[in-house]
Amino acid sequence: MIPFLLRRLLWFAITLLGVVTISFFLMRAVRGGPFDGERRLHPAIEANLAARYNLDWPLWRQYLQYLGPFNLRADGIGGLLVVEDEAARLAKPAPEQAQGSTVRFGSNVWTFTGDIGPRPFGGVLTGDLGPSFKYRDFTVNDIIGQSLPISVALGSVALLWALVLGLTAGIGSALWRGTRVDLGLRLVATLGIALPNFVIAAFLILLFAFLVPVLPVAGWGRAEHMILPGFALGAPFAAYIARLTRTGMLEVLSQDHIRTARAKGLPEWLILLRHALKGGVLPVVSYLGPATAGILTGSLVIERLFGIPGTGSHFVNSALNRDYTLSMGVTILYTVLVYTLNTLVDLAYTLLDPRIRLEES
């Protein structure tokens, strides 16, 4: 298992570097910049803004600065390979060396260096995704830190819905194969896959917020805010899980060890839970990785419809706003999520199915 994980880690690093590089240059290649607005700026003000965010640098230098942790603030290439010394930079300079001003109020005296403005990028390698260009009171780390838990909570509810509904429907379908129950469940599942989640959401809002006003139309803050969006987000996944479960269960139920169990006279529910379910849900487990990633990042429309402050909206808005750093940040986040979840799924697979070993994969 350890070599497997190490190999994965190596590939992960390579993939991430590739994603960061390609998306950095793609983002900059797109027409329009973060500070273009209906009101065009005076050239001098535009230059001031570009300078403040290092947009007046050549692209390679901006890239290295973004990647970090090089200190490129000083002019010239001399600073290129100097790894920044946090301790030295934070130390207060002696007053005679300070280019800035000394300020007093009360009993306090502060001395500033001449370096006005923040160090715009700490560098991705240090885990610092930089300041957002659009939401200027926040760093990208702040924004992801605030919105990701919300998306995760919403995604968890959706996943619970998907699992509970999907497994129940799938097992039911397999048990009563060919009956009206099976037909009905499969019809609903097909509908669930075919209908986009925002259509389901619109129906739910109409039904449970306006016709029978039991749940809030939108918003975030109470438990009941999660029910409708969670359901709408999870519904297509539930439908897919139902189909996977049904197929998996049918396959297992036709196998020899089930016949043996039946011959031993075990009650049907025990056979189902003990012997059939484990093999039957294997396809579902392998689907869970992509499904989780899909739920976490595909919540854009649902989050918008229900006014939920999750990560979903940033995937699209940051690109539209040309918020370079935020857009890069969520891209990196997405890469990490997909990669981690897929690795977890591979691990879970070996736990559930002894026939599969990681070394062979």
Residues 281-310 binding other proteins (CB under 8 A) are: 304-307, 309-310
* Identity of the residue, 52 or 262, whose beta carbon is nearer to other proteins in the bound complex: 52
Using CB under 8 A as the binding rule, whether residue 9 contacts other proteins is answered as no
**Which segment (60-68, 111-119, 246-254, 258-266) binds other proteins by CB under 8 A?**
111-119
C-beta of 156: minimal distance to other proteins in Å?
5
**312: enclosing H helix or E strand:** helix 312-320
* Identity of the residue, 76 or 221, whose beta carbon is nearer to other proteins in the bound complex: 221
* Residue 218 φ/ψ region, left for φ over 0, alpha for ψ in the -120 to 50 degree band, beta for the rest: beta
C-beta of 45: minimal distance to other proteins in Å?
6
Give me the 146-165 binding string for other proteins, x by CB under 8 A, dash otherwise. Answer: xx-xx-xx--xx-xx-----
Residue 232, helix vs strand vs coil = helix
Retrieve residue 28's tokens: 């900059």
CA pair distance 107, 131, nearest whole angstrom = 33
Give me the 331-360 binding string for other proteins, x by CB under 8 A, dash otherwise. Answer: --------------------xx-x------
C-beta of 269: minimal distance to other proteins in Å?
18
**DSSP codes of every residue in 36-78:** --SSPPPHHHHHHHHHHTTTTS-HHHHHHHHH--B---SSSGG
Retrieve residue 273's tokens: 């839970």
Q: Site residues for other proteins, window 13-72 (CB under 8 A)?
A: 30-33, 35-45, 47-49, 51-52
Using CB under 8 A as the binding rule, whether residue 322 contacts other proteins is answered as yes
Retrieve residue 168's tokens: 């129940």
**DSSP codes of every residue in 237-250:** HHHHHHHHHHHHHH
Of 302, 295, 291, 296, nearest to 204 by C-alpha is: 302
Q: Site residues for other proteins, window 114-143 (CB under 8 A)?
A: 114-119, 122, 131, 134-139, 142-143
**202: enclosing H helix or E strand:** helix 197-205
C-beta of 10: minimal distance to other proteins in Å?
26
Q: Is the dihedral of CA 248, 252, 254, 255 positive or negative?
A: positive
Give me the 214-253 binding string for other proteins, x by CB under 8 A, dash otherwise. Answer: --xxxxxxxx--x---------------------------
* Identity of the residue, 82 or 187, whose beta carbon is nearer to other proteins in the bound complex: 82
Q: Site residues for other proteins, window 184-213 (CB under 8 A)?
A: 205, 209-210, 213
CA pair distance 206, 222, nearest whole angstrom = 20
C-beta of 60: minimal distance to other proteins in Å?
22
Is the separation of the CB atoms in 349 and 49 below 8 Å? no
* Identity of the residue, 61 or 304, whose beta carbon is nearer to other proteins in the bound complex: 304
Using CB under 8 A as the binding rule, whether residue 175 contacts other proteins is answered as no
C-beta of 110: minimal distance to other proteins in Å?
4
**111: enclosing H helix or E strand:** strand 108-111
Retrieve residue 191's tokens: 């509908």
Which amino acid, one-letter code, is at 325?
A: T
* Identity of the residue, 292 or 331, whose beta carbon is nearer to other proteins in the bound complex: 292
C-beta of 333: minimal distance to other proteins in Å?
15
User: With CB under 8 A, what is the number of residues at the site for other proteins?
Assistant: 80
Q: Which residue shows structure tokens 């300041």?
A: 131
Q: Which residue shows structure tokens 């918003």?
A: 219
